[in-house]
Structure 1
Amino acid sequence: MEPSRRTFLSWLSRSGLVLAAAGTTGMGRTAEADQRDVLVLTNATLIDGTGTGPQPNTTIVVAGNRIIAVGRHETAPPAGVRVVDLRGKYVLPGLWDMHTHTMDLEQLLLPLYIANGVTSVREMWGTPYVRRVHQRIASGQVLGPRMVVASNVVDGPHSMLVNLWGKVSPEQVRTKDEARAAVHRAKRDGADFVKVYSHLDDDTLSAIAEEARRLRLPIAGHVPDKLSVVRGSDLGMRTQEHLYALYVDVSSARDEIRTIIRNTPVDPNDPFSYFFAMRELERQAIKSYDPGRAADVFAALTRNRTALSSTLVVLKLFTFPPELVRVPEREKYVPKWVVEQRWALQSVPPDRQEENRAFYEASVRLVRDAAEAGVTMVAGTDGGFLAPYILAGFCLHDELELMVRIGFSPMQALQSATRDAARTVGLGHVSGTVSPGKFADLLVVDGNPLADIRNTQRIHAVVANGRLIDRAERERMLAKVEEDAKHIPPPETALRAAPCCGPSRF
């Protein structure tokens, strides 16, 4: 054994820190560690994601890409070990964004995630491009967030996603056999879960759910318009996105509106019209919110452990006036053609602004009521660059701020992007909290986010997969994104709409 390794292990055993359990990957890293692998963060105030309050004077020891010890050390680390004094700083688990779309521009989006402390994402459309990016990150070729990657979107006939991004299109299934085959293709492609979409019917979603269970693949995505959220939850949806269908199911007019939906055909030549018709019905439905009916729905979601990703930043995009959506300082991080073509915001007539405000308030009440009833909420954004100003990394902090504004505690908001997010994707044993044995993904900030959630944006440093990115390196990363954005030409095929929620037409 090399002297440096022996010295380090001796210190670790005498330090008084809580160590990774014997036999875990973290302890394996410890046994192999030498001075070059080890990072010791000292004098931090830790907010570990478990719900425990701030823990001052905490030391976190990282070896390779794992946390191997956490606590208060009683003896100084040995000479030669890299020690970073975080006195006055707060350390959080690296953040998860549970609804992202890295459809292009990886050279811009990946560093923006990391620079913002978003060290893990759930990619909601597993295109070939996204799968290649995932492989490059996993192999260490590029620095980027950990990715949980969906299948290709599985939708019913006449999907609005056909050729949405160049030649990329969803799986369109009409029969149970086609639905099962789509699940097998997802498994073959290495998808982490099956993404389901709005035009599926009960037969096809049931077939997807049955085959996915058999192949041990979770399902998540949009509740199909013709199904209830409870039916989707009963079939095993791990998460449901954007509150779609929920508005109808908590309405006293539910049955009448469901009849209208069943009788509304999709125009194959204009599927977006159907999408907007469904969203308008939801706007009408929430006007007759029924708390008793909502309680029954929330109980079912809680019983089935179905989480909601409410994507409040998308709700804000669709309901707030342009001047409250636009964030000019973010425009430098994307090509000019994105700002001009994708991020153009239309003015909203005064009467529609009032309707939008009422819809927003009704929506946030729905989210609050669901959370108070025990439904798990996970932070997702539709982030990337496709929806106006919902820019990779930055938008997750926007989501957390919106959650607190509408009534969540800062701790609840943080856990929606840490512990609860990791648990929802089945990675709670390696991610989501700061504890020995877990991935070394950390966010270091200059202020207490439990006092002001906006302090998550006061970023001092990030640890991504064990790599420390200090303030200077972070600033260099952002400067490079800004410079690279100036030289990226538009794609040959224009994007027709955002991949999940459609254009901001509301």
Structure 2
Amino acid sequence: MNPRALAAFAATLLLAACAHRQAVPVDLLIDNATVVDLHDGRLLEHRHIAVRDHRVVAVADAREARRFRAARSVDASGTYAIPGLWDMHVHFGGGEALIEENRDLLPLYVAHGVTTVRDAAGDLSPQVLQWREQVRNGELQGPTIYTSGPKIEGKGSIWPGDLEVANETELRAAFDQLQAMHVDFVKITESALSPQLFKAALAEAERRGMKTSAHVPMSLMLDEVSAAGLDSIEHMGYALKAGSTRERAIADASAAGTLSYRDALVQAADTFDRDTALAAYRKLAARGTAITPTLYGSRVTAYLDQDDHHGDDYLHYIGPGLKATYDWRVQRAAKDDAAAIAARHRVYEKSAALLPLLQEAGVSILAGTDAGFLNSYDYPGIGLHDELREYVRYGLTPLQALQSATLRNAAFLGHDGDSAGIAAGKVADIVLLDRNPLQDIDATRAIRAVVLKGDYLDRDALDAMLATVRARVDAREAGAR
């Protein structure tokens, strides 16, 4: 080799060595995916997603991606990358005997692309708080958990595991307990809580800077609880009542005890007015009051006369103890005559049709399922995809539905700065889909892989998670026989 060629060769080696030294080490490089920007629906093709220490380092084009040296690279050609999905209304409960059955729900969420859940209270708060920390510390594989801990309720609540209060002194003590637990928000329900204590609970949460989520007393106007500081309305029936021309009369009759919850919803459906509803919803939006519709679970109950769900394959993933908790809603629905069945169909259809009105008014819609114990055939994991299908069926676009399961939820909990997106600095919770979800919302079910806090779980790994849960359920059912 002549001196000039030798010098050129040496220079090439030196440049290569420098380039190697300057390469940025990452744990994972997802190559050639189409990133779905859920802010505006743009498709960013041929992107390379670099992940290190559980967070996205960069979303780069092919040229920029060359600067990364990955411990693991995966070919994501043909996939659509979306942020991990959030389920903003789940439940863990059924008593201490069902702790293991409830823990087995965590892999069901992950296997279906749900990387974050908001636990809206049950009777296993100590366990849920423990799981929250174990997931956070990498000791337990599961979705990120945000939890309310036990609910605020009145004496004699129908729900298990509540903090029952009879006066404002006890209410403040309950808030002290919740703050000591470091809960992520406060859940308030009204089965036994007086309207006065309900409003006092909102004021106390506001004073302490705590987010609130609630079942709203039918005896109160939705506008007054929004004005009092309620952050999230759980379930669509309360929004239906706010769209009635007779909301005040319904509230007064409910306060007097002459109108049941179910009859109040029927009256609201029969006296619904679009303009009244839009005016009410615009006030909610102006105050930042969100709503978690939990539609699919309501649909299941409303239409049990047409589908009893006994043949659902997903029952193989639900433990026998949890399945037994489904019975109370099933038995209650079985007592309905033809008129009551028609009424519950009517209430559901009218409630589901509110979605585009809420969207038009600017209300933040938070996708949640109500999945867990008690709620019949409303399944953890796959239930969120059922929920999103309902949103599109009743008028939202696929993009709006996806926003409700990602961006809106993170913003509500104050984590939009570091979660629910695919961008530098965000937690690396990502779902790779085989089809474009902006064209067909059911594409969210076509999951090729899930990235859970930077851990890449391919289809085989996800199927193995499902198989493990199914085997545990089979073993429990065999032991129960």
Task: State whether TM-score is above 0.5.
Answer: yes
Please show how residues 398-413 of structure 1 align to structure 2 within 5 Å.
398-413=386-401
**Take 1:441 and 1:256, find their aligned partners in 2: how far apart are those partners?**
47
Relative to structure 1, the CA distance from residue 431 to residue 237 in structure 2 (aligned partners, 3 Å threshold; closer, same or farther) is same
2:9 aligns with none
In structure 2, what residue type is equivalent to 1:477? M
CA shift digits 1:81-102 (9 cap, x unpaired): 3111111011100000000112
Please show how residues 335-350 of structure 1 align to structure 2 within 5 Å.
335-336=319-320, 338-339=322-323, 342=326, 345=330, 349-350=337-338
Q: Which moves more between the two structures, 464-473 or 325-334?
A: 325-334
1:123 aligns with 119
SS of alignment partner, residue 252 of structure 2:
helix
Relative to structure 1, the CA distance from residue 255 to residue 78 in structure 2 (aligned partners, 3 Å threshold; closer, same or farther) is closer
Whether the 8 Å contact between 1:201 and 1:226 is mirrored in structure 2 is: no
**Take 1:428 and 1:80, find their aligned partners in 2: how far apart are those partners?**
27
Whether the 8 Å contact between 2:297 and 2:376 is mirrored in structure 1 is: no
SS of alignment partner, residue 289 of structure 1:
coil
2:419 aligns with 431
Relative to structure 1, the CA distance from residue 9 to residue 330 in structure 2 (aligned partners, 3 Å threshold; closer, same or farther) is farther
SS of alignment partner, residue 57 of structure 1:
strand
Residue 73 of structure 1 deviates from its aligned partner by 2.9
2:78 aligns with 88
Residue 119 of structure 1 deviates from its aligned partner by 0.3
1:291 matched to 2:274? The reply is: yes
1:111 matched to 2:107? The reply is: yes
In structure 2, what residue type is equivalent to 1:48? D
Residue 240 of structure 1 deviates from its aligned partner by 0.4
Out of 308, 312, 334, the residue aligned to residue 328 of structure 1 is 312
Out of 240, 246, 253, the residue aligned to residue 233 of structure 2 is 240
In structure 2, what residue type is equivalent to 1:131? L
**Take 1:491 and 1:9, find their aligned partners in 2: how far apart are those partners?**
59
**Take 1:178 and 1:79, find their aligned partners in 2: how far apart are those partners?**
58
Whether the 8 Å contact between 1:400 and 1:413 is mirrored in structure 2 is: yes
Out of 35, 40, 56, the residue aligned to residue 46 of structure 1 is 35
1:363 aligns with 351
1:420 aligns with 408
SS of alignment partner, residue 354 of structure 2:
helix
**Take 1:6 and 1:237, find their aligned partners in 2: how far apart are those partners?**
58
SS of alignment partner, residue 252 of structure 1:
coil
Whether the 8 Å contact between 2:28 and 2:71 is mirrored in structure 1 is: yes
Gaps of 5+ in 2: 1-16, 94-98
Please show how residues 232-271 of structure 1 align to structure 2 within 5 Å.
232-264=225-257
SS of alignment partner, residue 41 of structure 2:
coil
SS of alignment partner, residue 485 of structure 1:
helix
1:180 aligns with 172
**Take 1:351 and 1:197, find their aligned partners in 2: how far apart are those partners?**
29
In structure 1, what residue type is equivalent to 2:77? R
Residue 260 of structure 1 deviates from its aligned partner by 1.0
2:22 aligns with 10
**Take 1:219 and 1:144, find their aligned partners in 2: how far apart are those partners?**
25
2:217 aligns with 224
Identity of aligned residues (%): 30
1:30 aligns with none
Whether the 8 Å contact between 1:321 and 1:353 is mirrored in structure 2 is: no
SS of alignment partner, residue 245 of structure 1:
helix
Relative to structure 1, the CA distance from residue 486 to residue 9 in structure 2 (aligned partners, 3 Å threshold; closer, same or farther) is farther
**Take 2:457 and 2:42, find their aligned partners in 1: how far apart are those partners?**
26
**Take 1:232 and 1:79, find their aligned partners in 2: how far apart are those partners?**
54
**Take 2:250 and 2:479, find their aligned partners in 1: how far apart are those partners?**
40
Residue 72 of structure 1 deviates from its aligned partner by 1.1
Aligned residue pair count: 450
SS of alignment partner, residue 384 of structure 1:
coil
In structure 2, what residue type is equivalent to 1:139? N
1:281 matched to 2:260? The reply is: no
**Take 1:6 and 1:144, find their aligned partners in 2: how far apart are those partners?**
41
Residue 157 of structure 1 deviates from its aligned partner by 3.0
Out of 359, 366, 372, the residue aligned to residue 378 of structure 1 is 366
1:157 aligns with 155
Q: Over aligned residue pairs, what C-alpha RMSD do you find?
A: 2.6
1:20 aligns with none
Gaps of 5+ in 1: 13-33, 266-273, 493-506
CA shift digits 1:163-182 (9 cap, x unpaired): x3xxxx31222222222221
2:440 aligns with 452
**Take 1:382 and 1:349, find their aligned partners in 2: how far apart are those partners?**
26
Relative to structure 1, the CA distance from residue 460 to residue 323 in structure 2 (aligned partners, 3 Å threshold; closer, same or farther) is farther
Relative to structure 1, the CA distance from residue 84 to residue 322 in structure 2 (aligned partners, 3 Å threshold; closer, same or farther) is farther
CA shift digits 1:143-184 (9 cap, x unpaired): 0111111031001233111xx3xxxx3122222222222111
SS of alignment partner, residue 451 of structure 1:
coil
**Take 1:325 and 1:238, find their aligned partners in 2: how far apart are those partners?**
35
Relative to structure 1, the CA distance from residue 191 to residue 7 in structure 2 (aligned partners, 3 Å threshold; closer, same or farther) is farther
Whether the 8 Å contact between 1:461 and 1:468 is mirrored in structure 2 is: yes
Relative to structure 1, the CA distance from residue 9 to residue 291 in structure 2 (aligned partners, 3 Å threshold; closer, same or farther) is farther
SS of alignment partner, residue 487 of structure 1:
helix
Whether the 8 Å contact between 1:378 and 1:417 is mirrored in structure 2 is: yes
Relative to structure 1, the CA distance from residue 430 to residue 236 in structure 2 (aligned partners, 3 Å threshold; closer, same or farther) is same
**Take 1:451 and 1:65, find their aligned partners in 2: how far apart are those partners?**
30
**Take 1:79 and 1:293, find their aligned partners in 2: how far apart are those partners?**
58
Relative to structure 1, the CA distance from residue 293 to residue 442 in structure 2 (aligned partners, 3 Å threshold; closer, same or farther) is same
**Take 2:172 and 2:478, find their aligned partners in 1: how far apart are those partners?**
37
TM-score, reference length from structure 2: 0.87
Relative to structure 1, the CA distance from residue 358 to residue 244 in structure 2 (aligned partners, 3 Å threshold; closer, same or farther) is closer
Residue 336 of structure 1 deviates from its aligned partner by 4.0
Whether the 8 Å contact between 1:239 and 1:308 is mirrored in structure 2 is: yes
CA shift digits 1:176-196 (9 cap, x unpaired): 222222111110111111111
Q: Which moves more between the two structures, 395-404 or 288-297?
A: 288-297
Rg comparison, structure with higher value? 2
1:102 aligns with 92
In structure 2, what residue type is equivalent to 1:304? R
Relative to structure 1, the CA distance from residue 130 to residue 392 in structure 2 (aligned partners, 3 Å threshold; closer, same or farther) is same
Residue 309 of structure 1 deviates from its aligned partner by 0.5
CA shift digits 1:309-345 (9 cap, x unpaired): 0101122022113554626110111234544663584
Please show how residues 481-496 of structure 1 align to structure 2 within 5 Å.
481-488=469-476
CA shift digits 1:237-270 (9 cap, x unpaired): 11101124333332122222222111118xxxxx
Relative to structure 1, the CA distance from residue 83 to residue 363 in structure 2 (aligned partners, 3 Å threshold; closer, same or farther) is same
Whether the 8 Å contact between 1:419 and 1:433 is mirrored in structure 2 is: yes
Relative to structure 1, the CA distance from residue 475 to residue 306 in structure 2 (aligned partners, 3 Å threshold; closer, same or farther) is same
TM-score, reference length from structure 1: 0.83
In structure 2, what residue type is equivalent to 1:188? A
